[in-house]
């Protein structure tokens, strides 16, 4: 079977008729074909979204009507959750329980923004006291317009929903281009949205490669906003393309997040959160806490426990019972991570465990859980985002040193701190230069709170009310009392 594009309320074949394979990373075999959209398809989708926004068929509906439609989408996702999770696992490689949580979160995200749309509609417009009784000013929030959304492969449906749900809730129309490495669940989401009865052109899906579909979408002159999640190099290109039309840009990019573990921490709890922070989703997480800084008094003991527990992690196909680490998403990503591991041999870092393909896995893009210690601070594996199951650990002696090492990075997406001293945790959290800070944990993510980073980790925020507001424009409306005389030009009275 070959998937189709979804444009202007209809499933259509690409104008050029192309497709590419969906590969199961556990078997390295194709299991489906994905429609390969090109610039012509992108143009048709953006024009459909433009027409749907401009005639008000979606933005002109009441917030309740939009919310009801989004809740139908959430219901449709939940009704097919086991099927969608199995497809996500097959397409991405992640363990089935993780896929089930992701799909459940996607449904919850639609519900959250449905509720928020209604809550915002119930709030009165904001008025401003101008200090002049002849004028009154109001502030209106309106949908930004047509959104061009480009999403990654590590959380295929969920990352799509992080953009689709708030954009639709705000009254925008949208064209979604998911990663060519994992497009299948976004295609199924298009089917669910179609079944929910959203008006034609409100949601559009164009699958395809970055050069053939992503670039034309980010450059399209009829899009009002470009929302991108992915790598820093690609984010730069997206930003440059969008700047030609002076469009709003939101970028959620990479990370090299630190995890500071102080000497008073419980070793078992610290190791559990370190494992979760880097090996969840095979380390294919932009916020992964991949740089671990441990107070020297705890350093040897923690490294020993971390090695023991990392070597216990069950590796295998994501649909096998008990598996906690599946294959990385694709051969290209496998080769990239293996390149880091090969170059690390000459970096001076000490390999604690892992470092290559696990024994017994001759097929599939598997990489063993890998731990490096005593890593030089200028080493590539310490400074660059690997996006795989690889963690680096170094000691520190003082809180000041730990903060200096943690903040010495071009990235600033997330960070974590662990200590029984909560005052110290808050003090460290305040000084970490990152948009997301976890205390005594790593990686919990909630729809209700903002997501995004500092520095090279991106621009803007997703999730929570911030995610909703990012799809709104602000308009000032100032009114003059018509019964008053202005008298600036006609009478010369400037009072």
CB 436 within 8 A of CB 453: yes
Rounded CA separation 45/39 (Å): 10
| Dihedral (CA of 436, 438, 439, 445) sign | positive
Rounded CA separation 299/291 (Å): 14
Query: E strands of 335-389, at which residues?
Result: 350-353, 370-373
Rounded CA separation 378/494 (Å): 66
Q: Enter the tokens of residue 145.
A: 């317009």
252 given a catalytic annotation? yes
The angle subtended at Cα 409 by Cα 438 and Cα 434, nearest 5°, is: 30
List the catalytic residue out of 98, 180, 212, 252.
252
Tell me the HSE value of 224 on the side-chain side, using a 13 A CA sphere.
19
Rounded CA separation 210/225 (Å): 18
CB 296 within 8 A of CB 264: no
Query: E strands of 306-349, at which residues?
Result: none
What separation in angstroms does the CA of 61 have from each of 52, 124, 172?
A: 12, 18, 11
Q: Enter the tokens of residue 210.
A: 């970055």
Backbone angles phi, psi at 359, to 5 degrees: -65, 140
Q: Enter the tokens of residue 405.
A: 């090492």
What separation in angstroms does the CA of 64 have from each of 71, 114, 116, 172, 353?
A: 10, 8, 10, 15, 54
Q: How many residues does the chain have?
A: 495
| Dihedral (CA of 54, 57, 61, 64) sign | negative
Catalytic residue positions?
252
């Amino acid at each position: 079977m070959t998937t189709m594009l979804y444009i202007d309320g209809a499933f259509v074949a690409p104008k050029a008729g192309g497709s590419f394979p969906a590969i199961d990373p556990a078997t390295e075999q194709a299991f489906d074909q994905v429609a390969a959209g090109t610039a012509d398809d992108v143009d048709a989708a953006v024009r459909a979204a433009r027409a749907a926004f401009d005639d008000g068929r979606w933005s002109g509906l009441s917030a309740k009507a939009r919310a009801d439609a989004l809740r139908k989408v959430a219901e449709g996702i939940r009704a097919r959750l086991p099927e969608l999770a199995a497809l996500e696992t097959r397409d991405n490689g992640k363990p089935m329980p993780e896929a089930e949580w992701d799909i459940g979160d996607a449904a919850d995200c639609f519900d959250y923004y449905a509720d928020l749309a209604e809550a915002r509609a119930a709030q009165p417009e904001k008025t401003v006291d101008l200090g002049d009784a002849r004028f009154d000013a109001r502030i209106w929030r309106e949908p930004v317009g047509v959104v061009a959304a480009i999403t990654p492969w590590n959380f295929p449906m969920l990352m799509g929903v992080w953009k689709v749900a708030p954009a639709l809730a705000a009254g925008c129309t949208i064209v979604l281009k998911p990663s060519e490495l994992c497009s299948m669940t976004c295609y199924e989401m298009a089917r669910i949205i179609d079944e929910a009865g959203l008006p034609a052109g409100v949601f559009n899906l164009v699958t395809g490669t970055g050069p053939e579909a992503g670039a034309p979408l980010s450059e399209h002159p009829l899009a009002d906003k470009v929302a991108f999640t992915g790598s820093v190099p690609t984010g730069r290109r997206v930003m440059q393309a969008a700047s030609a039309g002076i469009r709003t840009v939101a970028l959620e990019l990479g990370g090299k997040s630190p995890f500071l573990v102080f000497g008073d921490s419980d070793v078992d709890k610290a190791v559990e959160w370190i494992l979760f922070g880097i090996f969840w989703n095979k380390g294919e997480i932009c916020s992964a806490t991949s740089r671990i800084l441990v107070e020297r008094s705890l350093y040897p003991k923690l490294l020993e426990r971390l090695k023991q527990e990392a070597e216990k992690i069950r590796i295998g196909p994501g649909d096998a019972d008990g598996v906690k680490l599946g294959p990385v998403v694709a051969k290209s990503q496998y080769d990239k991570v293996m390149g880091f591991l090969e170059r690390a041999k000459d970096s001076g870092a000490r390999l604690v465990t892992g470092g290559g393909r696990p024994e017994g896995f001759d097929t599939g893009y598997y990489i063993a859980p890998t731990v490096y210690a005593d890593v030089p601070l200028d080493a590539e594996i310490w400074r660059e985002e690997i996006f795989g199951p690889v963690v680096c650990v170094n000691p520190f002696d003082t809180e000041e040193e730990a903060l200096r090492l943690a903040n010495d990075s071009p990235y600033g997406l997330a960070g974590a701190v662990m200590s029984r001293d909560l005052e110290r945790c808050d003090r460290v959290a305040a000084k970490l230069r990152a948009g997301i800070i976890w205390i005594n944990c790593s990686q919990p993510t909630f729809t209700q709170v903002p997501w995004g980073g500092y520095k090279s980790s991106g621009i803007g925020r997703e999730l929570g009310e911030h995610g909703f507001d990012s799809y709104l424009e602000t308009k000032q409306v100032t009114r003059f009392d018509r019964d008053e005389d202005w008298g600036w030009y006609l009478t010369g009275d400037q009072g």
